[in-house]
């Protein structure tokens, strides 16, 4: 089976409190974006018991055995011992450590692909439960539609927001932001105005009301990320912001997008629509 895990952006992101269990409560709108990795799984022969996992495209740092795709397989295997060994191939195009949720998407799509291929008959609530055990962002990709997210990001409520009539660009300067470091720089505070309310306002008002709390520490540590946001506004973006804990910045436009000021930078740039 061949599937195409897509990424997401955060429309606003507020860290509202630190919980007793060490996690943080947040408020955001997760919005799916049609920019994808490719993930293929093939059942191995009955006499082959070893998993095979290969990766092409962008280099994936760290031990391959820690990859969320493998963790997703082992998670299901623990409850479904008859699950056969598989070949997995991941072609990585979504930048990592970039606030786009690419690794979480890969894990969620692996769960769904295994469920379909081997007829495990898992329901959506069951898949959401497995996904949460892999990471806070993973459940979103099971639903994969615009959602107002609270809790750790695991409490998801579908929300009516449609950006398909706009053009979008993702710009990543190749800086890996450590999520733990980013959270350590945040002072949680209750939101003054719910993102669920702000997102229903005209997009032209988002600039004043819709904020990502991580921008302050990340921009201070990496001024070039702040500069990307400024350039997107200079080039006519209706709204621009950093996604997640960074380092990708996205811009939403209703005109053609001219990124001439960034042309000599060795940045990853992806146009959507």
Q: 266 vs 102, 116, 172, 184, 250, CA distance in Å?
A: 21, 40, 9, 29, 17
User: Tell me, what DSSP letter sits at residue 100?
Assistant: S
Measured CA to CA, the distance from residue 25 to residue 149 in angstroms comes to 10
Q: Are strands 38-43 and 86-92 parallel, antiparallel or unpaired?
A: antiparallel
Measured CA to CA, the distance from residue 52 to residue 265 in angstroms comes to 37
**Among 218, 131, 135, residue whose Cα is nearest residue 183:** 218
**Among 5, 12, 6, residue whose Cα is nearest residue 250:** 12
**Quick one: CA dihedral 26, 8, 88, 52, positive or negative?**
negative
**Could you list the active site residues?**
8, 137
Q: Give Cα 32 distance to the centre of its chain.
A: 8
- List the end-to-end C-alpha distance of the chain, in Å, as a whole number: 26
Coil/strand/helix, residue 167: strand
């Amino acid at each position: 089976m061949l599937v195409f895990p897509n990424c997401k952006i955060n429309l606003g992101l507020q860290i509202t409190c630190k919980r007793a269990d060490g996690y943080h409560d947040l408020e955001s709108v997760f919005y799916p974006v049609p920019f994808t990795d490719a993930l293929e799984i093939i059942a191995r022969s009955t006499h082959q018991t070893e998993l095979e996992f290969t990766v092409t495209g962008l280099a994936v740092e760290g031990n391959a055995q820690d990859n969320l795709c493998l963790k997703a397989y082992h998670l299901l295997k623990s409850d479904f011992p008859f699950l056969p060994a598989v070949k997995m191939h991941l072609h990585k195009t979504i930048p990592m450590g970039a606030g786009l949720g690419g690794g979480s998407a890969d894990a969620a799509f692996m769960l769904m692909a295994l469920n379909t291929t081997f007829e495990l008959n898992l329901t959506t609530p069951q898949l959401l439960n497995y996904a949460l055990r892999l990471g806070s962002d993973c459940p979103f990709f099971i639903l994969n539609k615009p959602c107002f997210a609270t809790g750790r990001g695991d409490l998801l409520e579908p929300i009516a927001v449609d950006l398909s009539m706009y053009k979008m660009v993702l710009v990543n300067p190749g800086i890996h932001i450590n999520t733990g470091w980013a959270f350590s720089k945040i002072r949680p505070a209750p939101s003054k105005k719910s993102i669920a309310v702000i997102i229903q306002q005209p997009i032209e008002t988002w600039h004043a009301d819709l904020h990502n709390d991580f921008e302050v520490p990340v921009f201070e540590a990496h001024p070039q990320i702040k500069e990307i946001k400024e350039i997107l506004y200079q080039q006519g973006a209706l709204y621009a912001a950093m996604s997640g804990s960074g380092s990708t910045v996205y811009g939403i436009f209703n005109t053609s997008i001219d990124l001439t000021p960034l042309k000599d930078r060795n940045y990853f740039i992806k146009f959507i629509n």
